[in-house]
Amino acid sequence: MAEETELEEQLTKKLALQYEQNTNKEPNNNEGDILEPSEADGGWLTESEVDDISTDDEALITTLPPRLPLLPVPNHVSRPGDELCRDCTLLRLKRDRFIVWPKDPDFGGYVQPDKGLIELGQVKDMRERKNCPFCRLVLLALGGDRVPDVGDDGLPVKAQLCWTTDGTRDRNQPWVAHNEVRVLRIYGRTGSGGYLGIEQMNLFPDISLLVNDVPTNAPPKTKRFLPRPIQPDRIDFRLVQRWLSICEVNHCRVCGNASDTKQLGWTDPSGDIPDLRFIDLEDRCVVRASGNPRYAALSYVWGREPFFCLTTKTLAALEKPGAFDTDAIWSQIPATIQDAMTVARNIGVRYLWVDSLCICQDQFDVHNMTDEESTILKNKMESIRLMDYVYGAAYVVICAAESQNAFAGIRGVRPGTRGFRQPIEQIAPDFRLAYRHKSQDGSDSLPYYSRGWTYQERHFATRLLSFSNGQMSLRCKSDISFNEHTWEEETVISSKRPPSFAGEGNDIGDIVEGPIQNYSGLQLTKSSDVYNAFAGVARQIRRQLECDMCHGLPVKYFDWLLLWEPLKHEQTRRDGAPSWSWSGWHGGVFPRMWDWYTRDMRAIRKALRRRTWIIWYHRHDHDNSECTLVHEHGRTAPGVVRNFYGERLRKRFPFDCSQTEPTSRTLAPTAAGTVGPPEYFADVISSRPYSGFLQFWTVWAMFEIAETKTPWPGKGGPPPGKQMGIFGKSGDELGIIMVPTAWLKENPTPCKREFLLLCEARDVRAEDKDMDTDDHEWRYRVMLLEPKEGYYERVTIGSIGRGDEADSFGDGPCWKEFILG
């Protein structure tokens, strides 16, 4: 502890000395430059990065274009009759309080968790204080009209705030920040003490000092974190040009396409993607790709209204130079696509890829196609399958997030279309506060973020230029975000940020569970696209894990990925996919493995070999009995019986469990007029796209489902559904299970139902103990089954204690073969 204290003191002295050196310098009279220290001061570099910068990297910074000048304070910030209300007056807001000064006790320290909440009053009362500038600002920051006066509990919603700090963040630990400015964090609370949801308020809103009013002797670094005015009538694309230059110069080792190209096996888009075309913004026509040109790609939503597209009939006209200058064609191009062309041209990119104008959109009768039509359709489907490549190879992806459809346009691209009033309020002369917008604000209500096809377009973008909330922002692969209302971050980044779990490429949350959770809750116009729209991400997962996918689940972690939980109460079945996978449900899933065990994939693989016993086979088809192992571990030794993951087989149950190979069975209807099991969508993300029906042996048991008073284990709340108890024939409660409310309506409880034992798992993570040696905390996960004609479907997952299977009803547990669809 003494060494840590001494280190903190040295750091504090170092920063205070740097502050004194900066404030003693002669001021620079260029208005656009006075807000930052010179690069020699290290103003753009975190302490952890300074030692890693080479001489070449320092030289690169000097090649950046000059910073744009600070804009004046907008005229709308002060209104006649404005006066702080009584509650806001008591806050004693002062300009200097928003700066962390060298004399302050927390100078040189790190941001601490929020504490000391201040009550500002009920939201409905604050709406009445129309002349209080701070109340107006807090309501806007909180979420404006989205914030309800009364919460779901029927009680008034209250606004709370607290003082906290912000500052330079460590790339490797982005949750750690230095104390450099102070902000007021805003909270929306229900009357019963809960928090408003993301659909009712903005994400972690805060308010701080407008940079125009910063005290002249404030530490130079503080200006980076204070909000600044933005151009009110239209977007200034000189900002984007500067952002892109910073990224190219200072992040070139991280934000190039080389890493993704190598990881995903890409070579040259024009060679790999059939009939790849671009919009040539100089020749104003559609051209075939040649070489490897720098291009932008548009990510947007079409909407339901049809519009002008590239077809075999329009191709000749669109390929003529000047095609988009003719009124006959230009008048038919939807506004969002027109504006995307303007964006690309203004940021200096000649070529633009837009799906509707670069892929032939002909509709053919698949049962009556000519050879030429068959080739066109084949190329179209191949291009769609390689969408990840198109967006991943793009120099920048233009994300029209706020555009409701292709006709909506992109706000701020054309003069007078911005329709955005920056939330700045004057508290006193030369003292203005502003809300720092975030790109996520209001995103829950935008169609773009709910669509399945747009997910991988964002996921693979090297640079994502987003237009949302009337503003633009740029996020690149260095994990730096550029926003109009804050100064550009110029940090030199020469290496990728490690994943959230130590060990490159070893994080189950980042690589597998995150993408599944993010994608599974999104909407698709056609359910049959459930695998098509995920194909690029699936290919990335396959390459990273070096294993196949089976209907959306990487087979190397199969047993524990089957333990996913629903994200929403209204989850319903997607009939074209199996019930055991996330792909078989609407509403989204939460894999949660990292939550109850670990993110470390090496540890997971080791545990799976010890905690599982099912040998999973995949049925080829309904009308034959052929089956293939879902995963082959590659471990072979004469006379050694191994489990699914290659471990020596252990004896667990007091009955014969030696039968693991599937018996010869077909599922096709045998009697005339009977209906067989469903045919699922083609699993295009698997190298072995079989039927989606699993055939395997495991323990069967019958338990009773009834009301429970047992609290949910662990710190987090339960997943959606109704919590019920799993009871044995002794009357003892053996475990708990979250049952879908829709299922309970058709199956009144108490009721006895069939379960299968899946594997061992934990209900909660081991705290301050070895996660594997605390054997008594491991339990059996069980699957509640719904019997169908010749097969079963999953209903939900619960858990019982090891050995509790002996308390099964009837003749007790037994080793049984299942077909799961």
Q: Which helix (H) or strand (E) holds 706?
A: strand 694-706
Please give the distance of CA 175 from its chain centroid, rounded to a whole number: 17
HEC per residue, 386-405: CHHHHHHCCCEEEECCCCCC
> What pLDDT score does 504 carry?
65
Residue 443 has which token pair?
Answer: 């995103």
Position 785 scores a pLDDT of: 97
Rounded CA gap, 272 and 354, in Å? 18
Q: Which residues pair with 463 in a beta bridge?
A: 476
Q: Is the pLDDT of residue 36 over 60?
A: no
CA 517, 518, 520, 522 torsion-angle sign: positive
Look at residue 585 in the predicted model and tell me its pLDDT. Answer: 95
Residue 193 tokens read as: 């003490």
**Chain centroid offset of residue 584 CA:** 21
Q: How confident is the model at residue 53 (pLDDT cuts 50, 70, 90)?
A: very low
| Tokens coding 237 | 């694309």
Amino acid at position 149, single letter: D
Give the position of tokens 């807000």.
Answer: 35
Least confident of 253-267, 384-398, 739-753: 253-267
Quick one: which of 113, 373, 381 has its CA closest to 273? 381
Query: Residue 22's pLDDT band (boundaries 50, 70, 90)?
Result: very low
Average pLDDT of the chain is: 86
Q: Is the pLDDT of residue 634 over 70?
A: yes
Integer Cα distance of 503 and 665 in angstroms: 45
In terms of DSSP H, where are the helices of 253-370?
A: 258-264, 269-272, 315-318, 327-330, 335-346, 355-358
Share above pLDDT 90 across residues of the chain, in percent, rounded to a whole number: 60
Q: What pLDDT, on the 0 to 100 scale, is given for residue 34?
A: 29
596: amino acid identity, one letter = W
Q: Which residue has the tokens 């196949």?
A: 548
The yes-or-no verdict on residue 153 having pLDDT over 90 is no
Q: Which two tokens stand for residue 63?
A: 């090649």
CB atoms within 10 A of CB 677: 20
Per-residue pLDDT, 258? 62
What distance in Å separates the CA atoms of residue 765 and residue 594, rounded to the nearest whole number?
A: 9
| 591, two tokens | 């894999």
pLDDT tens-digit readout, 706-728: 999 888 887 667 788 899 999 99
Dump pLDDT digits (tens) for 106-141: 998 988 888 889 999 999 999 999 999 999 999 999
20 pLDDT above the threshold of 60: no
Q: Is the pLDDT of residue 142 over 90?
A: yes
- In 3D space, the residue among 611, 573, 570, 567 whose CA is nearest the CA of residue 589 turns out to be 567
Classify residue 765 by its DSSP letter: P
The two tokens of residue 611 are 């905690």
Taken as a whole, the chain contains a residue count of: 821
710 backbone φψ class: left, alpha, beta (φ>0; ψ -120 to 50): beta
Q: What integer pLDDT is reported at residue 263 of this predicted model? A: 63
CA distance 205 to 145: 15
Identify the pLDDT of residue 254: 86
Tokens 């000649």 belong to 350
Contacts of 766 (CB under 8 A, 6+ apart): 774, 777
Write down the pLDDT at residue 55. 39
SS (H, E, C) 481-550: EEECCCCCCCCCCCCCCCCCCCCCCCEHHHHHHHHHHHHHCCECCCHHHCCHHHHHHHHHHHHHHCCCEE
750: cis peptide before it, omega within 30°? Answer: yes
Can you tell me the distance from the alpha carbon of 783 to that of 247, in angstroms, rounded to the nearest whole number?
A: 49
Looking at residue 25, its pLDDT comes to: 36
High-pLDDT (> 70) share of the chain, %: 86
Residues 191, 192, 194, 195: what is their CA dihedral angle, to the nearest 10 degrees?
A: -10
Q: What is the DSSP letter of 353?
A: E
d(CA 293, CA 390): 12
Q: 500-522 burial string, b = 16+ CB within 10 Å, else e?
A: ebeeeebbbbbbbbbbbbebbbb
Query: How large is the average pLDDT for residues 138-160?
Result: 91
On the question of pLDDT at 3 being above 50, the answer is no
Q: Place 172 in a pLDDT band, splitting at 50, 70 and 90.
A: confident
Task: Count other Cβ atoms within 10 Å, centred on residue 112.
Answer: 10
Nearest-angstrom CA–CA distance, 765 and 362: 53
Tally the C-alpha atoms within 13 A of residue 772's C-alpha that lie toward its C-beta.
Answer: 11
Structure tokens at 606: 């080791």
For residue 337, pLDDT beyond 60: yes
Contact 281, 321 (CB under 8 A): no
Cα angle, residue 166 at apex, residues 160 and 172 outer, rounded to 5°: 125
pLDDT per position as a tens digit, 192-228: 888 888 788 888 899 999 999 999 999 988 998 999 9
Given a contact cutoff of 8 angstroms between Cβ atoms, the answer to whether 766 and 620 are in contact is no
- Three-state SS letters, 625-684: CCEEECCCCCCCCCCCCECCCCCECCCCCCCCCCCCCCCCCCCCCCCCCCCCCCCCCCCC
List C-alpha distances in Å: 321 to 279, 281, 282, 286, 287: 11, 10, 9, 8, 9
Closest C-alpha to 337, from 359, 354, 351: 354
| Paired tokens of 147 | 């914030």
What is the full DSSP assignment across 37-104? --GGGTTTS-HHHHTT--HHHHHHHTTSPPPPPPPPPPGGG--TT----HHHHTT---GGGGB--TTS
What is the pLDDT confidence band of residue 505, given thresholds at 50, 70 and 90? confident
Q: How far apart are CA 342 and CA 472, in angstroms?
A: 14
**Of 755, 778, 751, nearest to 699 (Cα)?**
755
- Per-residue model confidence (pLDDT) at position 14: 40
Q: What confidence tier does 807 reach under pLDDT thresholds 50, 70, 90?
A: very high
**Going by C-beta distance under 8 Å and a sequence separation of 6 or more, which residues neighbour residue 330?**
324, 338
